[in-house]
């Protein structure tokens, strides 16, 4: 699951000039009786939505023998051994490291490259601007399966020196995943960033020019610091998306020890199949990094998704 999320708002009206919208009045209050009914329904639904994760959390701490003997509707048999077992059996230390080595470079590269394109789109009005944006945005939406065969075959042919990948080719290397993820994610980031940059007052560039600042300095020293909020929000989103990316990792990495966490799940399923409590512990381990990101940076996450969608 990489790209599609990114379609998100890319079309919704972009940020207006006002950066900090005045506090909006919410959409009115419901009549009391009906309000109470709606609140109850929403609360129940919200509980239902939380339940799967809670259920996984609870059972990840229970002994297999206990739940086998007493059923899952019982209470007791608490243990932490599922986590130890899942961690070693699933080799999560290795896979987490792989995910890290793929996600961080991919996100940095995506943000860097797309901020450059976005800067050019926002700073200059070339005739090809719209077409350029289209090339990146459409790429973001193409089903990855549609490109699989040529990409797969190309990567097999591209040799990499052994210090870059011990597979000797792009296939089975982190480089492949970093580049593919970057190529796919640039569209969304370019779009969001260029819209954000367009809200910066044009005068800053005029005075920068008077000071003799080169285009590169206008980009790196003037624009980039000003778009930091957008970069932070996008970074949060991209980290979760690249971490969650499943398709490319599954098809481009065939060496089990090179798989990132999300795709490694597929192998684990066989090993854990007979023990649901292990599945639960494994799920929580895999979910933990993104949940931490989510709770720590919730604001960034949501604003990243909705960036450009509020009229301000």
Cα 82 to Cα 13, 21, 205, 292: the distances in Å are 48, 48, 58, 21
18 binds another protein (CB under 8 A): no
Compute the distance between CA of residue 91 and CA of residue 57 in angstroms, rounded to an integer: 20
Shortest distance in whole angstroms from residue 46 CB to another protein = 4
Shortest distance in whole angstroms from residue 161 CB to another protein = 20
Shortest distance in whole angstroms from residue 121 CB to another protein = 9
Q: Which of 96, 91, 80 is nearest to 277 (CA)?
A: 80
Compute the distance between CA of residue 100 and CA of residue 138 in angstroms, rounded to an integer: 28
Q: Which of residues 200-239 bind another protein (CB under 8 A)?
A: 202, 205-206, 209, 212-216, 219
28: number of Cβ within 10 Å: 5
Instruction: Candidates 20, 25, 32, 225: give the one binding another protein (CB under 8 A).
Output: 25
Instruction: Candidates 22, 27, 76, 270: give the one binding another protein (CB under 8 A).
Output: 27
Instruction: Candidates 132, 200, 226, 232: give the one binding another protein (CB under 8 A).
Output: 132
43 binds another protein (CB under 8 A): yes
Compute the distance between CA of residue 250 and CA of residue 248 in angstroms, rounded to an integer: 5
Q: Which of residues 236-295 bind another protein (CB under 8 A)?
A: 240, 243-247, 250-251, 254, 262-263, 265-266, 269, 276, 279-280, 282-283, 286-287, 290-291, 293-294
Shortest distance in whole angstroms from residue 93 CB to another protein = 18
Compute the distance between CA of residue 145 and CA of residue 143 in angstroms, rounded to an integer: 5
Q: Which of 172, 153, 309, 300 is nearest to 237 (CA)?
A: 300
Shortest distance in whole angstroms from residue 141 CB to another protein = 5
CA neighbours closer than 13 Å in the CB half-sphere of residue 300: 19
Tokens of 156: 């097999």
Is residue 140 within 8 A of residue 186, CB to CB? The reply is: yes
Instruction: Candidates 80, 88, 255, 298: give the one binding another protein (CB under 8 A).
Output: 298
Shortest distance in whole angstroms from residue 54 CB to another protein = 11
Nearer to another protein, 50 or 164 (CB): 50
54 binds another protein (CB under 8 A): no
4 binds another protein (CB under 8 A): yes
Q: Which residues of 67-80 are buried (b: 16+ CB within 10 A; e: fewer)?
A: beeeeeeeeebebe
87 binds another protein (CB under 8 A): no
Phi-psi region of 172 (alpha: psi -120 to 50; beta: other; left: phi over 0): left
Q: Which of residues 136-195 bind another protein (CB under 8 A)?
A: 136-139, 141-154, 179-180, 182-184, 186-187, 190-191
Shortest distance in whole angstroms from residue 13 CB to another protein = 6
């Amino acid at each position: 699951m990489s790209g599609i999320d990114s379609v998100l708002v890319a079309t919704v009206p972009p940020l207006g000039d006002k950066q900090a919208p005045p506090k909006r009045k919410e959409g009115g209050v419901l009549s009391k009786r009906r309000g109470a009914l709606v609140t109850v329904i929403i609360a129940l639904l919200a509980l239902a939505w939380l339940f799967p994760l809670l259920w996984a959390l609870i059972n990840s701490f229970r002994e297999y023998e206990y739940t086998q003997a007493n059923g899952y509707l019982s209470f007791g048999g608490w243990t932490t051994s599922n986590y130890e077992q899942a961690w070693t059996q699933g080799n999560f230390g290795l896979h987490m490291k792989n995910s890290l080595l793929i996600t961080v470079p991919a996100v940095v590269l995506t943000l860097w490259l797309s901020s450059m394109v976005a800067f050019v789109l926002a700073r200059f009005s070339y005739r090809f601007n719209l077409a350029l944006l289209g090339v990146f945005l459409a790429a973001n939406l193409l089903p990855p399966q549609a490109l699989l065969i040529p990409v797969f075959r190309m990567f097999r042919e591209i040799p990499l020196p052994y210090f870059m990948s011990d597979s000797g080719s792009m296939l089975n290397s982190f480089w492949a995943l970093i580049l593919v993820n970057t190529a796919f994610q640039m569209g969304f980031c370019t779009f969001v960033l260029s819209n954000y940059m367009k809200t910066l007052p044009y005068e800053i560039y005029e005075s920068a020019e008077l000071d003799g600042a080169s285009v590169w300095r206008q980009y790196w020293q003037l624009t980039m610091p000003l778009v930091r909020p957008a970069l932070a929000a996008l970074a949060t989103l991209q980290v979760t998306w690249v971490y969650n990316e499943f398709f490319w990792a599954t098809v481009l990495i065939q060496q089990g020890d090179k798989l990132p966490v999300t795709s490694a799940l597929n192998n684990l399923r066989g090993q854990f199949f007979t023990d649901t409590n292990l599945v639960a512990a494994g799920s929580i381990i895999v979910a933990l990094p993104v949940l931490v990101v989510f709770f720590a940076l919730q604001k960034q996450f949501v604003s990243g998704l909705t960036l450009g969608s509020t009229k301000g």
